[in-house]
Structure 1
């Protein structure tokens, strides 16, 4: 008899614990959890965050970086430092008055007034803001469910999963782990085609103390920050100059008004790129870019890309955020970029087919 009562007590305790767990689990709906994660909280004056960032193509890790982020919301100050596993480093700081950005890949730094640009430009969008924006978007495009409660990096989190509502969407399945006590995203995993992107917060301090050195960066020896205007590499050019640069005739359009041509030398790739800007009826219609064809052949790599045939050669048509048509012809890679939302895929193909070679 004692054994039976002991068994009943164990089962009853298990049901009680399960009921408590279900009550906690059901405290917030999936949409409420996302709403909490993206709401602007007045009690968060600032934060410091350290996180890992990894990108996989299939099973192969193609990017591995550590990101440090300081944000002072009260004084509109921020700093982001990113360092990859191969040693590449970028730093961006906004002290409320001036923005300085440095990249070891370019070996250069530039500066501009903070009030001259929109938030999010030149590396000023913080990783938390990117995650918040991603969460806002999936509320419209994905079905969201709560998977469970898990501990990540010492934080108790709600684990939610977002599945695309429609097949063929650019953004695939996504998962988020959101801290219960402060509603920060502690971890995220997003999948698109064969790419997987993963963020994991390892250190998080909310409302930390900032001193006079926090929102500064120390540039490497020999690097001096220049103004953005000083670093602008573009120069006006003519078709004849492009023919001379490439050593061959160049494609252009005679059906639209050629407003201007700009060229710029890409030191890292040792090549000159050029943009021809075309207008019609007082509106810019498209830009035709060109540079010497790289060794890498054209290939469909992402959703939203389609392989088609243009001018007798293989081309890639893209229609994700903006329409673009890319192909290689006579050793030159051309990119036809739509600047008019009313242009269709067929319009771009027609424009490309009607381009003509010129020698001057």
Structure 2
């Protein structure tokens, strides 16, 4: 599996919009067009804020955070879990590795990110621009008005899903008109509601040499995440052996297998996951993921795949279905590949031991 999928962006990570200025007389379309234009966002700042997560309107998670971000891509976030005896956690990106540590623990986790473009390594503007590009055909954008937050005049943007099955759901964003920094955000998806609110912001911080370091207590072991769950590479046949059974693949000629990987996960996940990367004339087209069918994660059935109830998520162009004892997922990588074309190709898939 791509190493980018192993990193979950910290809860406090927020997003930067790009340059648009002027009065509210500008239309929603004009403002959102400017949001997607190329221009630098606020990359150097220090902030404090709060994250809240609700399930069925019940507060289930609450964190305060302190965040440091430099223009060279370094990040440090300190979170305090308000619902877990003020447990303190640290996440550091020093430009070459990630280091994650929970105060009082005996282990810290590290991940080498040198030469790897993780979402957390992107500017916040780049992260949001990518998200908004994916949402242009699935959501409606509206400028609600202007509001003052922390002394900043913000645009209040409302992003509404066109379908109740939307993965990203509905969002509200409060964006500073001068720096295009996201000062506040709300997101609602199904029964889950989240809020991120900054309570203090400094766009001209002074950082020291120690700002983007993390001194661990004596005796703390540093565990390499990749070493714990190493990625194996090989052939489709070897991947099937690791999985314990043959699995569906595209016939020779439809797609070209670029790379086959698999990971063996322990702990709560406890599964082997196979990933096959397909190309056409050297250009990435599809990524196939296969693992044991989870018992407690039903698909919503908004599409039918190979006669089975499946699920398609437009925002990330992800198609999934269960067949036999396996769950299959396909990420459509090529922008010119339509969902309908991929579903036709999926109908022709064959078991790996039949090729």
TM-score tier after normalising by the smaller chain length: 0.5 to 0.7
Aligned to 2:65: 67
What is the TM-score normalised by the length of structure 2? 0.68
Q: RCO (CA 8 Å, sep 6+): is it higher in 1 or 2? A: 2
Aligned to 1:336: 330
Q: 2-side partners of 1:354 and 1:92: how far apart?
A: 46
Which residue of 292, 299, 310 maps to 1:315? 310
Aligned residue pair count: 311
Matched ranges for 1:155-194 at <5 A? 155-156=150-151, 158=153, 160-164=155-159, 167-168=162-163, 172-176=170-174, 178=176, 185-192=182-189, 194=191
Shift of 1:270: 1.7
Aligned to 2:120: 123
- For the 8 Å contact 1:55–1:64, the answer to whether it is kept is yes
Which residue of 204, 207, 212 maps to 2:209? 212
The unaligned stretches of length 5 or more in structure 1 are 1-26, 301-305
Q: 1-side partners of 2:140 and 2:146: how far apart?
A: 18
What is the TM-score normalised by the length of structure 1? 0.67
- For the 8 Å contact 2:249–2:350, the answer to whether it is kept is yes
Aligned to 1:52: 50
Structure with bigger helix share is 1
Q: 1-side partners of 2:160 and 2:243: how far apart?
A: 47
Matched ranges for 1:90-239 at <5 A? 90-94=90-94, 98-102=96-100, 107-113=108-114, 116-117=115-116, 121=118, 123-125=120-122, 142-146=141-145, 149=148, 155-156=150-151, 158=153, 160-164=155-159, 167-168=162-163, 172-176=170-174, 178=176, 185-192=182-189, 194-219=191-216, 221-224=219-222, 233-239=230-236
Shift of 1:358: 3.8
Identify if the C-alpha distance between structure 1 residues 144 and 133 changes in structure 2 by more than 3 Å, giving closer, same or farther: farther
Q: 2-side partners of 1:343 and 1:127: how far apart?
A: 28
Shift of 1:163: 3.5
Structure showing greater radius of gyration is: 1
Aligned to 2:15: none
Aligned-partner SS, 1:214 = coil
Identify if the C-alpha distance between structure 1 residues 231 and 128 changes in structure 2 by more than 3 Å, giving closer, same or farther: farther
Shift of 1:171: 5.7
Shift of 1:246: 3.5
- For the 8 Å contact 2:160–2:171, the answer to whether it is kept is no
Which is worse superposed, 159-168 or 331-340?
A: 159-168
RMSD: 4.4
Shift of 1:216: 0.6
Shift of 1:103: 5.8
Aligned-partner SS, 2:341 = helix
The unaligned stretches of length 5 or more in structure 2 are 1-21
Q: 2-side partners of 1:350 and 1:89: how far apart?
A: 47
Aligned-partner SS, 2:238 = helix
2:292 is the alignment partner of 1:263: no
- For the 8 Å contact 1:263–1:275, the answer to whether it is kept is yes
> Which digits, 9 at most, give the CA deviation of each residue in 1:114-168, with x for residues without a partner?
xx355xx35335779867998999999623133555xx6xx34546432348844
Which is worse superposed, 309-318 or 198-207?
A: 198-207
